[in-house]
Amino acid sequence: MNKKLFKCELLNEEYTVTTLRNGLKIYIMEKQNFDSVYAVFGTKYGSIDNCFSLNNGEYIEVPNGIAHFLEHKLFESEDGDAFAKYSKTGAYANAFTSFDKTCYLFSCSSLFEENLDILLNFVQSPYFTEQTVRKEQGIIGQEIRMYDDSPGWCVLFNALEAMYHNHPVKVDIAGTVESIAEIDDNLLYECYKTFYNPANMFICIAGKVDTDKVLDKISSAIKPCDKIQINRKKVDEPASVVTNYVEKQLEVALPLFCVGYKQQLKTEEPSLRDSIAVNLLLKLIFGESSHFYKRLTDMGLINDEFETEYFTGRGFAAILLEGESYEPKKVAEEIKKEIYSVLKNGIDAELFEAIKRDSFGDTIKRYNSVNNIAMMFIDAAVSNYNIFDEIEILREITLEEVLKHIEIFDENKAVLSVISPKEK
């Protein structure tokens, strides 16, 4: 067991990262003045991991949506349903699957140890049968249908499809009704065996806990596993976009848009420092205090739904600017114009100072919540960094460094996705 302590004087907080001999990483922050605890057991396995090999064997390609399907099914063990067990303790339990991870979580204000037992137990006890798989196909089928009617979801995935030729990030996390129909119990076991190995997993806990006791419990509860080698098939993704415009009609009142700028990554994913810099850049150019935001609001082109995101994960990165507008094409043009203007005129230093303070305050606020702390741990576990570094980076980063990232706004790699109202 290897245990490291991280401290932040400014916040008066500390946490430990412990790596067990089997490779499982455990993040714990004690918050003794809180009533509740938030705990997550996760794996670096998400919707994009759909072609892989175990221990240098042959690559197998699995149906889209299988990571999410597995998440649903893992709640059922041979000795009963995990929700039923949680219901005896009163904990809130849930799970989620993203592009590159699957996480099982609970929050509770009492009986933490019992809840941790339930979490550790069910995540390590897969139980899939033909019958239970079939039952879940109906439920997830309805989840997929629900998202089919969500314009916000569709505008994003259409933008991703327009940007990515081959990368599986363009595929809906839940898959399609057709792809999940191909899932069976054997495939689920295959994926489980590959990705639910402790070496590929992490546990994140924040709240009223005793670190040493928790570590003892986890160490003794983790089942022995063979060391494995996971190879995720490298995707050959061209730098170019597939198409620069995509439009779909749905039942909406005014059009939704998503402008995306695809980034060609030099590393597997952007560093924490680069992510902070790009997020600052987005606030500077497009945030609520920017000239752009005022100009487009005054022109009636955007409303409070307008938002930006640096969308990143394993093997993909893009800038996304989303919102509602009667004139999406004009918004996309104005975004380009604004980039030219910043390239020509720069950004005033006073605004940079204001945005830095704003981001610093946002970071401090995140430590108000055990839920947020656990979420920060998840990102840190997946991308391997110290969460306190964010504060230091924000203190020292310069406008010059931030502005270097403007090169991501490459016009040739821009896409516009629009959801427009159905023609009656």
Partner 1 sequence: MGAKLVNITNGVDGVFIENSRFNTTIISFNCYLPIKKSDIASNALLPYILTSCSEEYENFTLLNRRFNMLYGADLEVSVDKTGDTQHIKFSVSVINDRFAFDGSSIVLDATNLILSLIFKPRLNGKSFYDEDINREKRKMVENILGEINEKRLYAKNRIIAEMYKGLPYGISKYGELDDVEKLDGSDLYSAWQRLLLNSYVRVQVIGDVLPKDFFDTVAQRFADIPRNPYTDYKAFSTLEPSDTVHYVTDKMNVSQGKLVLGFTSETNGVNCYKFNVMTDIFGGGPYSKLFENVREKMSLCYYCSASPAVTKGHLLVESGVEFDNMERAEKEILNQLIAVQNGDFDDTTFEASIKSICGSLKSCNDSLGSLDSWYATRIFTDELVSPDDAIEEISKITKQQVIDTARGIKLHTVYKLIGEGSARDE
How many Cβ atoms are within 10 Å of 343's Cβ, its own excluded? 12
Interface with partner 1 includes 139 (CB under 8 A)?
A: yes
321 - beta bridge partners? 259, 308
Closest approach of Cβ 422 to partner 1, in Å? 5
Binding mask 144-173 for partner 1 (x = CB under 8 A): -xx-xxxxx---------------------
Token pair 């401290």: residue? 7
C-alpha R_g of the chain: 23
> Which residue, 194 or 363, is less far from partner 1 as judged by CB?
363
The only residue of 369, 389, 410, 420 in contact with partner 1, by rule CB under 8 A: 369
Interface with partner 1 includes 28 (CB under 8 A)?
A: no
**How far, in Å, CA of 348 to CA of 414, rounded?**
26
Q: Which of residues 235-294 bind partner 1 (CB under 8 A)?
A: 250-254, 256, 287-291, 293-294
Torsions phi, psi for 81 (to 5 deg): -90, 135
Closest approach of Cβ 83 to partner 1, in Å? 4
Interface with partner 1 includes 361 (CB under 8 A)?
A: yes
Q: What is the dihedral of CA 263, 267, 271, 273, to 10 degrees?
A: -70
Tell me, what amino acid is at 269?
Answer: E
> Which residue, 101 or 283, is less far from partner 1 as judged by CB?
283
Catalytic residues: 71
Interface with partner 1 includes 6 (CB under 8 A)?
A: no
Q: Which of 47-55, 129-137, 218-226, 382-390 is the region at the interface with partner 1 (rule: CB under 8 A)?
A: 129-137
**How far, in Å, CA of 65 to CA of 68, rounded?**
6
**How far, in Å, CA of 143 to CA of 146, rounded?**
5
Interface with partner 1 includes 110 (CB under 8 A)?
A: yes
# binding residues, partner 1 (CB under 8 A): 74
- How do strand 256-262 and strand 92-97 relate by DSSP bridges? unpaired
**How far, in Å, CA of 211 to CA of 131, rounded?**
41
Interface with partner 1 includes 107 (CB under 8 A)?
A: yes
Interface with partner 1 includes 230 (CB under 8 A)?
A: no
Is the sign of the CA dihedral 121, 124, 125, 128 positive or negative? positive
Interface with partner 1 includes 96 (CB under 8 A)?
A: no
204 - beta bridge partners? 27, 40
Interface with partner 1 includes 368 (CB under 8 A)?
A: yes
- Encoded tokens for 174: 């839940």
> Which residue, 97 or 200, is less far from partner 1 as judged by CB?
97
> Which residue, 268 or 348, is less far from partner 1 as judged by CB?
348
Q: Which of residues 315-344 bind partner 1 (CB under 8 A)?
A: 324
